[in-house]
Chains A and B, each alone.
Chain A
Amino acid sequence: MPDRGFLRLPARNRELALIALALLIATTGFAAVQLARAQEFAASPLIAAAFFAGAYLIAHLVVRITLPDADPYVLPITAVLTALGLIEIYRIDATLARDQGLWIVIGLALFVGVIVAFRDIRRLETLRYTCGAVAVGLLLATIVLGSEVNGARLWIRVAGLQIQPGEFAKILLVIFLAGYLRERREVLAAPTRKLLGIGVPALRHSLPLLIIAGASLVLLVAMNDLGSSLLFYVIALAMLYIATGRLLFVGLGAGLFAVGAAAALQITPRVQTRIDGWLHPWADEQAQCCYQITQSIYTIADGGVLGAGFGRGLILNSGGGTIIPYAQTDFIYSVIANEMGLVGATAVILLYLLLAWRGFRIATTADDGFSKLLAAGLATAVAFQVFVIVGGVIRLLPLTGLTLPFVSYGGSSVTANFAIAGLLLCISQRANRARA
């Protein structure tokens, strides 16, 4: 379909056509699960699908009015991803799917709120220190007030809701770093003294790097989760690299983190267990180290190239729970790989690649440093998070407690990622209008 004719269409019409395609996928998927599983016809999934469609169409209309020149692919990509996630969550548990549907609607509302509020993205730049402070506050709150789920301290309870402040702190941190680095990048980039023949910035300028490394390690220990701390650290390093162009920072930073993490592992037994499970999953498949990861691998392998089909895989055990614990959150990719096969799993990864590409493209077309850093930082956040969580469930990396953006069950994750999508569109609007 995307031939020259399609590309010549106005951006918003392309967006609408692609959203329609996403809705077609969603409806087909729901119908397939319904056919595969339910003994009798139920109207609720159709109502949910209609609700889902309505929410996306409203979001599209708001974009059409407020950001007419913004990137037309970001929103449809999120539509396909949220639809696939919702279908698989529905397939696991209809009640969870109802919640997730609600979170998607709330996420889209936040998306609309973001694009209305930050239509002019430069307004955000003035809020950079506020964002930084709130980010730190959120992370501190998680550490102090947090409750452990599956061993990791990533959640806090507010008014009966489990929220994952890290997902929001991540965005606020990117905003802060984008503002801070735009301001300081010249000083950070210019070496002022030589150490062992290598130019390094003055101590007070390299202080941020050290602070970031230290804070990430503190997070690793306090949250008991390698994934989150690695994600924060990589986002910061990536933005530092873009701002300064100094690969040395990246190398130095990676080394610092590796050494620090190796030391920190001694006091975080859960992370140690995860690393054992990563290195020797078959040693004792029933043990805590290895049960989740081996079940994940069996589930993925079972899908084969074409998959079992929506609702036709073997995901639940005889008690009605999922065979892989946390299948709807951490291991949703394994479920997708099982039911949609290699074809579907590849499509999902390619959608993220496409999303990252749009994000980086928005970064390159933006005409100010803040926008560039912000777009690149947000795109990195999404792409690297996908890499870490999917890498974990396929045993490319140790298992971590991150969510698969837009797909995993969970309100914090879904709404935070919609905020990212909104910010990307706002940056894109400004960049495209400037070019037009």
Chain B
Amino acid sequence: MNRRIGNLFIVLAVGLLGLIAMTTYWQVVARSSLEARQANVRLVYRDLAIDRGSIISSDGVTLAESKPGTLDGRTVYFRNYPTGGLAAQLVGYSSLLAGRAGLERSLDPELTGSTSDLAGVVNSFDRLKGDTVRGDEVILRLNAAAQKVAMDELTKLGVRGSVVVLDPSNGGILVMASTPTFDPNTGLEQALSDPGSPLLNRATQGLYPPGSTFKVVTAASALDAGVVTPETNFPGPSCIDSGGQKLCNFRDRAYGPHSFGYALIHSINTTFAEVGADLGKDQLEATMRGFGFFARFPWDYPPDQSLPSGIFNRRGNLIDPSAPIDVPRIAIGQERLLATPLQMAEVATAVANGGQIVQPEPVQEVRAPDGSVVRRPSPVYLGRAMTTETAATLRELMKQVVDEGTGGAAAVAGLDVAGKTGTAETGTDGKNDAWFIGFAPAEASRFAFAVLVEDVDGTGGDVAAPIAAAVLRALTAQTT
């Protein structure tokens, strides 16, 4: 019987040693691959140990902060967004459920103190020791008061749309509004499946036919190329023939003989179509590239959330301008031309800036936990979109758009506003994408902007220009 008892023991011993072998497999062999699995909640909890830095607007409003709580006896930090949907698309979110987006994603290394420089290395030692790692605080260029006005104006109308305001001197993003919005604290899960796509940052991911606002680009190209001067005369019929198709003015209006400058102020399609034909594809394309079309701005934002503007095929892919295109229709901002509000704000910036294109910059300052300044971005000039003279000419003409042309509703008392309206056909009958782009003051501009409202009955001058005025009032009230 003892031999059998011995045999049984051996069988059971092998079983128990098998347990050790399998445990070894999980703890040694499979450990790193398990650690990397997305569904591993430990991954998320580990991130919670970091006291992620706050995101604060230039006027001192906290947009994102970390609130301490406890998790299994340790202090952890839960992300809180005190302003809810105010700048939800720009700021983005850092969530257990949905991962990260917006500045929360692009600035993640600084917010978590895991940059590749010395500070990041010191922090990784802290992490090993189990000490709390504190990330850097980010102060944005964003003006929360003006952002609120922009959001309120869009929400009041109950429309989808976007407002972008840049500081032409340094590219600083003063306002970046997008509606509909979502509350990153509580509404994220719902927003993921919302058919209104509230997570979409319409300022950088929304592609819209720019309509007549694009005439600024066409005009810059024509003036630079010497194809026209502001005084060049045009006939001004209600419609012309372009590539076998009729191309008409807004509401088929006939203008009679007029100057090129007058055509910009009153947004005369027939004249710009003719100018476009004279310019030719290559010239117009070169100017567009100068303004930043056909490429994404290489700014501090997740690449997949900042789309390039340009000419798109039916499947929504950017096409090479060398493909056959209807240049006169491109010249008036139609055909398959699509632009983001950010791109059109950059168009306005270039005019305000004497022709220089400046990189969009969300960040004013990054501060270490001890309060010292880690980074203060300086302006990055991406090149010249037009000559200084052309910019000066356009500035004068765009001022007149507000003073006596289609953009009267953008006028703000005590502020010289320059701009250009746009009313782009969306293909749905009677519905337009309403635009207003511009800058203020006209001289030594401090604000360059683009306002877009999707799918409305009204024109850019009716719908978008008043929003620009309201936001400009908020901005000047803040800074004077």
Interface residues of A (CB under 8 A from B): 36-37, 238, 241-243, 245, 285-286, 294-295, 297-298, 300-305, 311-318, 323, 337, 341-342, 345-346, 349-350, 352-353, 356-357, 360, 363-364, 369, 372, 376, 379-380, 383-384, 386-387, 390-391, 394-396
How far is it, in angstroms, between the C-alpha of A241 and the C-alpha of B203 when the chains are bound?
Answer: 78
Contacts of A305 in B (CB 8 A): 27-28
Complex partner residue of A301 from B8, B35, B41, B70, CB under 8 angstroms:
B35
How far is it, in angstroms, between the C-alpha of A411 and the C-alpha of B39 when the chains are bound?
Answer: 35
Interface 0/1 of B31-42, CB less than 8 Å to A: 100110101111
How far is it, in angstroms, between the C-alpha of A364 and the C-alpha of B8 when the chains are bound?
Answer: 12
How far is it, in angstroms, between the C-alpha of A423 and the C-alpha of B69 when the chains are bound?
Answer: 50
Smallest distance from the beta carbon of A39 to chain B beta carbons, Å? 9
Q: Which of B11-19, B87-95, B231-239 contacts A (4 or more CB under 8 A)?
A: B11-19
Question: Which 4 residue pairs of A and B lie closest in terms of their CB atoms, listed nearest first?
Answer: A316-B72, A360-B9, A37-B73, A383-B12
Given A242-B4, A346-B23, A363-B5, are A383 and B15 neighbors across the interface (CB < 8 Å)? yes
Complex partner residue of A384 from B1, B4, B12, CB under 8 angstroms:
B12
Residue count of chain B within 8 Å CB distance of chain A: 38
Given A314-B42, A349-B16, are A301 and B26 neighbors across the interface (CB < 8 Å)? yes
How far is it, in angstroms, between the C-alpha of A379 and the C-alpha of B31 when the chains are bound?
Answer: 33
State whether A356 touches B20 (Cβ < 8 A).
no
How far is it, in angstroms, between the C-alpha of A241 and the C-alpha of B1 when the chains are bound?
Answer: 9
Complex partner residue of B5 from A297, A314, A345, A364, CB under 8 angstroms:
A364
Q: Which residue of B lies closest to A394 (CB)?
A: B22
Given A315-B72, A316-B71, A316-B73, are A300 and B16 neighbors across the interface (CB < 8 Å)? no
How far is it, in angstroms, between the C-alpha of A346 and the C-alpha of B19 when the chains are bound?
Answer: 9
Smallest distance from the beta carbon of A344 to chain B beta carbons, Å? 10
- 24 A-B pairs with CB atoms under 8 Å apart are A285-B39, A286-B39, A297-B26, A298-B37, A300-B27, A301-B30, A301-B34, A302-B31, A314-B71, A314-B72, A318-B71, A337-B26, A342-B24, A342-B27, A345-B27, A349-B16, A356-B16, A363-B5, A376-B8, A380-B8, A380-B12, A383-B16, A384-B15, A387-B16
State whether A394 touches B19 (Cβ < 8 A).
yes
Interface residue B2 (Cβ < 8 Å from any Cβ of A): yes
State whether B18 touches A396 (Cβ < 8 A).
yes
Contacts of B23 in A (CB 8 A): 300, 337, 342, 345-346, 349, 394
State whether A304 touches B12 (Cβ < 8 A).
no
Contact residues, B47-64 vs A (CB, 8 A) = none
How far is it, in angstroms, between the C-alpha of A179 and the C-alpha of B35 when the chains are bound?
Answer: 52
Interface residue B6 (Cβ < 8 Å from any Cβ of A): yes
State whether A311 touches B73 (Cβ < 8 A).
yes
Given A341-B27, A380-B8, are A349 and B20 neighbors across the interface (CB < 8 Å)? yes
Given A242-B1, A394-B23, are A298 and B45 neighbors across the interface (CB < 8 Å)? no
Smallest distance from the beta carbon of B44 to chain A beta carbons, Å? 10
State whether A323 touches B41 (Cβ < 8 A).
yes
Q: Which residue of B lies closest to A359 (CB)?
A: B9
Smallest distance from the beta carbon of B255 to chain A beta carbons, Å? 65
Contacts of A313 in B (CB 8 A): 72
- Beyond A346-B24, A391-B19, list 16 extra A-B contacts (CB 8 Å): A295-B41, A300-B26, A301-B30, A301-B35, A303-B27, A304-B28, A304-B31, A314-B71, A317-B72, A318-B71, A337-B23, A353-B17, A363-B2, A379-B9, A391-B22, A394-B19
State whether B4 touches A318 (Cβ < 8 A).
no
State whether A294 touches B28 (Cβ < 8 A).
no
Smallest distance from the beta carbon of B257 to chain A beta carbons, Å? 72
Smallest distance from the beta carbon of B325 to chain A beta carbons, Å? 49
Contacts of A357 in B (CB 8 A): 9, 13
Complex partner residue of A245 from B4, B6, B24, CB under 8 angstroms:
B4
How far is it, in angstroms, between the C-alpha of A369 and the C-alpha of B5 when the chains are bound?
Answer: 12
How far is it, in angstroms, between the C-alpha of A301 and the C-alpha of B23 when the chains are bound?
Answer: 8
State whether A36 touches B27 (Cβ < 8 A).
no
Contacts of B40 in A (CB 8 A): 298
Contacts of A360 in B (CB 8 A): 5-6, 8-9
Q: Which residue of A lies closest to B39 (CB)?
A: A285
How far is it, in angstroms, between the C-alpha of A410 and the C-alpha of B16 when the chains are bound?
Answer: 23
Smallest distance from the beta carbon of B245 to chain A beta carbons, Å? 55
